[in-house]
Structure 1
Amino acid sequence: MKTKRISNGWEHYRGSLGGVWEVWRAYKLNNHYNVPWSAVELPHCFNGEDSVDPDVLYYQGPGWYRTLLEVDNPYPNGRTLLHFEGAGQNTEVYLYTEQVARHVGGYDEFKVDLTEQMAEGKYKELFGNKVPVAVQCDNTRDLETIPSDISDFNLYGGIYRYLNLVYVPEISFEYVHIATEVQSENNAEITVRAKLYNPLKRSQSVRLSLVVRDPDGHAVHQQEWTAEAWQGWKDLATLELTDVKRWSPDHPELYSCEVVMHGATGEEAWETSHAERFGIRTFQFVKQGPFLLNGERLLLRGTHRHEDFAGVAAAMTEDMIRSEMKLIKEMGANFIRLGHYQQSRIVLELCDELGLLVWEEIPWCRGGIGGEAYRQQCRDMLQAMIEQHYNHPSVIVWGLGNENDWESDFDTFDEEEIRRFMKELHDLSHELDDSRVTGIRRCEFCKDIIDVYSPSIWAGWYRGVYPEYEASSRAGFEGTDRFLHLEWGADNMAGRHVEAPYTGFSEIKTGDGTDERDGDYFLQGGDPRVSSLGDWSETYFCDMIDWYLKSQTQMDWLTGAAQWAFKDFSTPVRPDSPIPYLNMKGVVQRDLTPKEAYYVFQSYWSEKPMIRVYNHSEAIRWGQPGEKKLIKVYSNCEQAELFLNGQSVGVRKRDAQDFPCAGLRWEVELAEGENEVRAVGIKNGAQVADEIRFVYQTEEWEQPASAVLSANRLEDGLMKVEVRVYDRNGVYCPDANLFVRFGLAGDGKLLDNRGTVLGSRYLQLAGGRAAILVDPQGGRSVVSAAVDGIPTVFVEI
């Protein structure tokens, strides 16, 4: 097999065409009747910016791609394939004007065989030796497909994962699976199974060779034999490995298996190979007990991931994915739920390499249950996910659904019908792969069907207060056989800090459950809850995380928990967020810029010495002269010393149960004006330090009445334009959270629609200010800032 990515040479048109002929009409009619095609590089999502555009709903409809491929298959009678690693949501593939394939589903991989259609050569007159390929991706709303459009994420459109041109001989491997079974502490048995791709059902004898290598690259097993081409799955070899190195988050040991096939077409010999990595480990969710990995208790410390990124939406490059997954690992996580769909093969490969255990699921998310086509898509996507990701040792749970108790998409809601179909998927999963368990989140009437269940527990956000977390989790644990807490957290705006965060301790009813209920995510109406009454500050979010994590250290029965979600992401159901159309529960922004919460997790989970003085982003703090102010430090060091303006204010020892900040907190008197705070810690003999500078404001302020706009050139040539608001006396208003809209006239360009605090033209102030990046593009521009209720201000750049 020979594979190459085909990322360049593509053109895109977002919109509908009268038919596929319009893709190519200009080639024949000398560019008459042309539509405006744009050059793009794959991966590409045609919702790269509009998913967080504050003024429009994101586009849902068809989008077209076209290219001229140079094809040079080296195999005699070889097959030429297009391998889509993912495209959304429904995909049609054409050679010139002939449709050769259609795929339903935006998240699983699929291959398209071009061989027969290319052989007919209908397009040589126009395109010579090149092959005209057109692809239509369509994310039009459709109730009879999954996921539901009421899911809390965008159903993106485009060829938003990598696309490969693949050459194989007339017989090749479609899948190679390595099943592992631990026999004893040091020994394991593996079985190598394979399924052929043989569309013409050729019958011939082939020579096979197999080599298995240990994590150090040494061959531990080799064999050769001859076999007749087969149909379906076939066991190729069963062998025993000794002195086994177990895969785990701390030691992600990976073996490899390569199978080579030798054959002949006429007088010409050919060979093709298929290589897979695998790991050897055992795991168990103990009934009414903890999670065991390789026989020992492991607390699953997790987060969640959406395929979403500033400026490109789902079209994340390999470098972007790698940066994100490394950040997750460096945060100290050992577990990740891939919500709510099968994700890129690159993600799974990195989970294997980095040591991140995985819950991966199909996108049966909300909405109820549809007809037979709907159900068949669920079956097909479950089978594809398992077949395509079977060999990843990181995967422990196949997720069958999310919030399937959420009624909306159909005029009837039949719990028994959902139960029957959930049981069918559960049985299908175990039929395809009995080495993993099944799981769902939030569907109480199905929790007895699957292996692992996560109830809805949002203590301190959608319901209740965060001190109820442990009791809520214990109730969830006792209410199901095998418990895992997925999804907890709070929306928080990067850069927003408050002196006294809203907690709801006095106003919000407690003891009535902490499960999210329909409508709780709305910002108005319903029962009192922190999500609608709170300040959406980093301050509150860090306190909540701190409480959850210090509690988890004492919950020896807990299998684990996963915070929702690692990164801010776009969603069509949240137009009223401080940055519209953004779910802001991330511990990093949509461009991977860490928020303060990232370091709270590190202080509990990371082994590498770290220290962080809370609040690096607020330039001005406020209070009364002589007032004691709290300085918080997050660190995994045994102790830390704080210095204020060069003078030590004491040493504190870390105690995880001393909330907040595990005891690393100081009350100090700040000087009016400039202050410098520095923290120093020691862990395992290594010293780490962190410092911040800010202005302490003691002047009191009234309502915001005016704004000042400034512009500063950055080292990369971009301009940072910032607005700050003041009262009628010219005193800065550091708690103002009004909405501001940036605009531009002239040669430059606002770098907006990113869904970040520096990449949004319409957003709330954080700490009385907001900013946006501008590309001057070599010319002159005037940038405006219109803050609600305040005269618009301008600056020329």
Structure 2
Amino acid sequence: MHYKKNIIVTILFLLFQLADSTAKPFNHASNGRETIPFNKDWQFYFAYNFEQGIKKETVNLPHTWNAMEVLKGVPDYNRTSAIYENKLHVLPAWAGKRLFLYFEGANSVAMVFVNNKSVGTHKGGYTAFAIEITDAVKSGENKITVQVSNAYRLDVLPLHGDFNIYGGIHRPVSLILTDKNCISPLDYGSSGVYLKQKQVSKDSAEIEVFTKLSLSDDQALSLRSTLLDGNKKVVATLTSKIEKGNPQELSQSIKLSNPHLWNGKADPYLYEVRVELLQNGQVIDQLSQPLGLRYFSVDPDKGFFLNGKYLDLYGAGRHEDVSAKGSALTDEDHDRDMELMKELGATAARLTHYPHSKHFYELCDRNGIVLWSEIPFVGPGGYTGTGYVKDAELETNIKQMLKELIRQNYNHPSVCFWGLFNELKLNYDDPQPFIKELNALAKEEDPDRLTTLASNLGSNSFTDLTDLMGWNQYFGWYGGKFEQVGAWADETHAAVPGKPISISEYGAGGSPFKHTEGLIRPEAKGNFHPEEWQTAFHEKHWEELKKRPFLWGKFIWVLADFGSAIRTEGDANGINDKGLVTYDRKIKKDAFYFYKANWNPEPMVYIAERRNTNRTKASTAVKIYSTVATAELWVNGKRIGKKAKNGLNTMIWENVQLSKGNNDILVKTKFKGKELSDSCVWTLQ
């Protein structure tokens, strides 16, 4: 077991010391903090319905009012204000407790009222916030009202973007009860505990446990931090006395020899740090945070290194958006997307274009997915408009969002990159001076992670603003040819020597219901997006990108189709169809299986173009993707022959003859004595 390693614990702290490095079960004592879900039976109605007796809809959270209407494919979906109401019954046993409402996300501006009195406002739909309601509630029944608006405004991000701004309380809500002295829930929606990895190597690690406190007195208070290994065994415990004077923060430091490192997918090992506030030796507050010890770097010529070893970062961008649900996703929805990423074989993900659900960050920690996480500072892409105006209120909002992004996700080892913007333009107010301020703020908040951006301009723009760069490129979709991506990468690498570069988006639209026999280039803004062109796009792009390790990240656009009301293309208006998976997650397109064959070593075989069932040409090619070295093709029970896979884990039989009517296509192979096969039926007209 890993906890039996020879681990030497040296404990440094500011005030008072108590150390215990003996491995033993953790004592799960009552921690004084209660977190109660507050998601059921909310009354919902639009804010313009003020007359008495208005009919209200009962909804459960998470909820958005746009989920169904955006499926109509019209750009003028309901960006307005709505009301959520609920009853909170305050128990007599809660006397002397502090009460906080914790919102994981309300899009995009939320005003909270208790018994018709305002208690707080939050601007920003994708980050959490907590509001203390202790002095606003009474014993017994209390009315909680939340007015939420997703209306367009120039002082709240995003100003633009190729995705829907779903209105509503679209993430869970909870009620937090604490003692009068507690670990603060009010530090930009964060846990209040920051695990700062001061120095990490395979030989040793130094971790600063920095805790924000909210104290009403300082009588006999102390703070205990406990480090547990992956088996929940205590590795170290330290206790610091809280001196008089109501300090609002406290630092404790742990030095660890021979740490078990968090090593991405290969070994996503997690420690846990439990922080307890004690009064007279009794626990009055407690919370736990994940600790994944790792170190990383990016070399402009060699790429990304995790714990001193090269790691090829590849994966996809992801939107929190599912057909008929919008952004009001459950944990099961997030779990499903993680399973798709794991099946794909991704090592990384770009969480676009805003902070994602807390649950998804936890999934990435546990599954070893390296993350680029960003704020919704988004330009218009290929459309008109701007993502930035030089306005003091907007800039304050952007800085608030960046602080919230960093502080709320500070302890997630999966996060290695903070994204500052996506596809801003230079023909409106120049955002560059402000972006430099943002970069400085990110470094002040978190000196250890790297900053990046995603541009769709040339190599002479935005190159001196962040640690790293990303470019969104679509050769063979919005112009150009597939083959140009390799030359672009080489030319850009040469144009910005010393600057690590990535391809932050690349993709093409594709419908699993539209097909061609042979490649026919579609119009990007047209309605005909055949699956075959999307597949060819990805085959050629990956062939070029895989040869260039200096690209520190390679991010497909996008994991799954998503809603974008401004789009009028593909099978249906209002959808960006560049996903490897359909909007409802029910169909994995051919390109998904191409990447699975190249990224996931598990044995598999898959017949491409299987959904192109109605054929007009008797002579055709049969293409399969496989991780197994060779496979045999059979047509209508006749063995056609054996092929070996090429460098893209692809096998192609040319000039295969089909018969009139139905044709049974079968491919067979073996892996370690186990037979693998795939089949489909093609009909020759």
TM-score, with length taken from structure 2:
0.88
Q: 1:534 Cα shift? A: 9.0
Does the CA-based 8 Å contact 1:305-1:565 persist in structure 2? Answer: yes
Q: 1:607 Cα shift? A: 1.3
The yes-or-no answer on 1:14 pairing with 2:46 is: yes
For residues 479 and 686 of structure 1, what CA distance do their matches in structure 2 show? 50
Q: 1:74 Cα shift? A: 5.2
Does the CA-based 8 Å contact 1:74-1:167 persist in structure 2? Answer: no
Question: What letter matches 1:485 in structure 2?
Answer: I
Tell me the secondary structure at the aligned position of residue 459 of structure 1. coil
Q: Deviations over 1:629-680 (max 9, x none)?
A: 11111112111111111221111111115xxx63344431011111111112
The yes-or-no answer on 1:137 pairing with 2:137 is: no
Does the CA-based 8 Å contact 2:73-2:575 persist in structure 1? Answer: no
Q: 1:683 Cα shift? A: 4.1
Does the CA-based 8 Å contact 2:62-2:328 persist in structure 1? Answer: yes
Question: What letter matches 1:611 in structure 2?
Answer: V
Using a 3 Å threshold, how does the CA distance of structure 1 residues 258 and 73 change in structure 2: closer, same or farther? farther
* Structure number with bigger Rg: 1
Does the CA-based 8 Å contact 2:516-2:612 persist in structure 1? Answer: no
Tell me the secondary structure at the aligned position of residue 7 of structure 1. coil
**Residue from 623, 627, 651 that aligns with 1:663:** 651
Aligned counterpart, 1:215: 230
**Residue from 384, 387, 392 that aligns with 2:407:** 387
Aligned counterpart, 1:590: 583
Q: 1:614 Cα shift? A: 1.3
For residues 262 and 283 of structure 2, what CA distance do their matches in structure 1 show? 36
For residues 93 and 608 of structure 1, what CA distance do their matches in structure 2 show? 50
Using a 3 Å threshold, how does the CA distance of structure 1 residues 168 and 557 change in structure 2: closer, same or farther? same
Aligned counterpart, 2:629: 638
Q: 1:187 Cα shift? A: 1.9
Aligned counterpart, 1:350: 363
For residues 225 and 663 of structure 1, what CA distance do their matches in structure 2 show? 64
For residues 209 and 485 of structure 1, what CA distance do their matches in structure 2 show? 44
For residues 353 and 671 of structure 2, what CA distance do their matches in structure 1 show? 38
Tell me the secondary structure at the aligned position of residue 579 of structure 1. coil
Aligned counterpart, 1:246: 262
Tell me the secondary structure at the aligned position of residue 116 of structure 1. coil
Using a 3 Å threshold, how does the CA distance of structure 1 residues 270 and 396 change in structure 2: closer, same or farther? closer
Q: 1:241 Cα shift? A: 4.0
Aligned counterpart, 2:438: 425
For residues 73 and 250 of structure 1, what CA distance do their matches in structure 2 show? 50
Tell me the secondary structure at the aligned position of residue 561 of structure 1. strand
What are the equivalent positions in structure 2 for 1:637-716 lying under 5 Å apart? 637-656=628-647, 662-683=650-671, 686-697=674-685
Using a 3 Å threshold, how does the CA distance of structure 1 residues 184 and 154 change in structure 2: closer, same or farther? closer
The yes-or-no answer on 1:328 pairing with 2:347 is: no
Q: 1:581 Cα shift? A: 0.6
Using a 3 Å threshold, how does the CA distance of structure 1 residues 573 and 232 change in structure 2: closer, same or farther? farther
Using a 3 Å threshold, how does the CA distance of structure 1 residues 279 and 64 change in structure 2: closer, same or farther? same
Using a 3 Å threshold, how does the CA distance of structure 1 residues 295 and 92 change in structure 2: closer, same or farther? same
Aligned counterpart, 1:152: 162
Aligned counterpart, 1:495: 513
What are the equivalent positions in structure 2 for 1:98-497 lying under 5 Å apart? 98-119=117-138, 129-148=140-159, 150-174=160-184, 175-198=192-215, 201-228=216-243, 230-263=246-279, 271-366=284-379, 367=386, 368-405=388-425, 413-415=428-430, 418-442=431-455, 444-480=460-496, 481-497=499-515
Using a 3 Å threshold, how does the CA distance of structure 1 residues 102 and 184 change in structure 2: closer, same or farther? closer
The yes-or-no answer on 1:555 pairing with 2:548 is: yes
Using a 3 Å threshold, how does the CA distance of structure 1 residues 434 and 155 change in structure 2: closer, same or farther? same
Does the CA-based 8 Å contact 1:609-1:682 persist in structure 2? Answer: no
For residues 559 and 535 of structure 1, what CA distance do their matches in structure 2 show? 34
Q: Deviations over 1:108-127 (max 9, x none)?
A: 100111110114x6xxxxxx
Q: Percent of aligned positions with the same letter in both sequences?
A: 26
For residues 421 and 219 of structure 2, what CA distance do their matches in structure 1 show? 43
Using a 3 Å threshold, how does the CA distance of structure 1 residues 51 and 232 change in structure 2: closer, same or farther? farther
For residues 11 and 290 of structure 1, what CA distance do their matches in structure 2 show? 51
Using a 3 Å threshold, how does the CA distance of structure 1 residues 57 and 532 change in structure 2: closer, same or farther? closer
Does the CA-based 8 Å contact 1:570-1:581 persist in structure 2? Answer: yes
Q: Deviations over 1:166-203 (max 9, x none)?
A: 111112113111122445423212111111134xx433
RMSD: 2.1
Question: What letter matches 2:218 in structure 1?
Answer: S
Q: Deviations over 1:361-407 (max 9, x none)?
A: 11111123331110001110100111100000100111111111165
Structure 2 gaps of 5+ residues are 1-32, 185-191, 380-385
Q: 1:610 Cα shift? A: 1.1
For residues 101 and 671 of structure 1, what CA distance do their matches in structure 2 show? 71
For residues 533 and 269 of structure 1, what CA distance do their matches in structure 2 show? 67
Structure 1 gaps of 5+ residues are 23-32, 122-128, 408-412, 505-529, 698-797
Does the CA-based 8 Å contact 1:457-1:473 persist in structure 2? Answer: no
Deviates more, 1:48-57 or 1:62-71: 48-57
Does the CA-based 8 Å contact 1:177-1:391 persist in structure 2? Answer: yes
Q: Deviations over 1:82-112 (max 9, x none)?
A: 1100110100111121111111111110011
Using a 3 Å threshold, how does the CA distance of structure 1 residues 77 and 226 change in structure 2: closer, same or farther? same
Q: Deviations over 1:448-495 (max 9, x none)?
A: 110111123211111201011111122222333010111100011122
For residues 554 and 146 of structure 1, what CA distance do their matches in structure 2 show? 37
Using a 3 Å threshold, how does the CA distance of structure 1 residues 534 and 92 change in structure 2: closer, same or farther? closer
Does the CA-based 8 Å contact 2:208-2:254 persist in structure 1? Answer: yes
Tell me the secondary structure at the aligned position of residue 424 of structure 2. strand
**Residue from 613, 616, 621 that aligns with 2:615:** 621
Aligned counterpart, 2:34: 2
Using a 3 Å threshold, how does the CA distance of structure 1 residues 355 and 684 change in structure 2: closer, same or farther? farther
TM-score, with length taken from structure 1:
0.76
For residues 92 and 420 of structure 1, what CA distance do their matches in structure 2 show? 32
For residues 54 and 390 of structure 2, what CA distance do their matches in structure 1 show? 37
For residues 667 and 553 of structure 1, what CA distance do their matches in structure 2 show? 29
Aligned counterpart, 2:6: none
Q: 1:54 Cα shift? A: 3.0
For residues 653 and 293 of structure 2, what CA distance do their matches in structure 1 show? 44
For residues 76 and 259 of structure 1, what CA distance do their matches in structure 2 show? 24
Tell me the secondary structure at the aligned position of residue 256 of structure 2. strand
Does the CA-based 8 Å contact 1:182-1:281 persist in structure 2? Answer: no
Q: Deviations over 1:203-249 (max 9, x none)?
A: 33313222111223222112234223754442123332434233322
- Paired residues in the alignment total 632
Question: What letter matches 1:221 in structure 2?
Answer: A
Using a 3 Å threshold, how does the CA distance of structure 1 residues 162 and 216 change in structure 2: closer, same or farther? same
Q: Deviations over 1:51-94 (max 9, x none)?
A: 22135621000011111122338565211111100110100111
**Residue from 559, 578, 583 that aligns with 2:571:** 578
Using a 3 Å threshold, how does the CA distance of structure 1 residues 283 and 114 change in structure 2: closer, same or farther? same
Using a 3 Å threshold, how does the CA distance of structure 1 residues 232 and 209 change in structure 2: closer, same or farther? closer
Tell me the secondary structure at the aligned position of residue 242 of structure 2. strand
Question: What letter matches 1:484 in structure 2?
Answer: S
For residues 201 and 341 of structure 2, what CA distance do their matches in structure 1 show? 33
Deviates more, 1:421-430 or 1:451-460: 451-460
Runs of 4+ in 1 over 6 A off after TM superposition: none
Does the CA-based 8 Å contact 1:402-1:441 persist in structure 2? Answer: yes
Q: 1:604 Cα shift? A: 0.6
Does the CA-based 8 Å contact 1:459-1:472 persist in structure 2? Answer: no
For residues 290 and 298 of structure 1, what CA distance do their matches in structure 2 show? 8
Tell me the secondary structure at the aligned position of residue 483 of structure 2. helix
Question: What letter matches 2:65 in structure 1?
Answer: F
Using a 3 Å threshold, how does the CA distance of structure 1 residues 84 and 341 change in structure 2: closer, same or farther? same
For residues 176 and 542 of structure 2, what CA distance do their matches in structure 1 show? 47
Deviates more, 1:209-218 or 1:162-171: 209-218
Deviates more, 1:54-63 or 1:345-354: 54-63
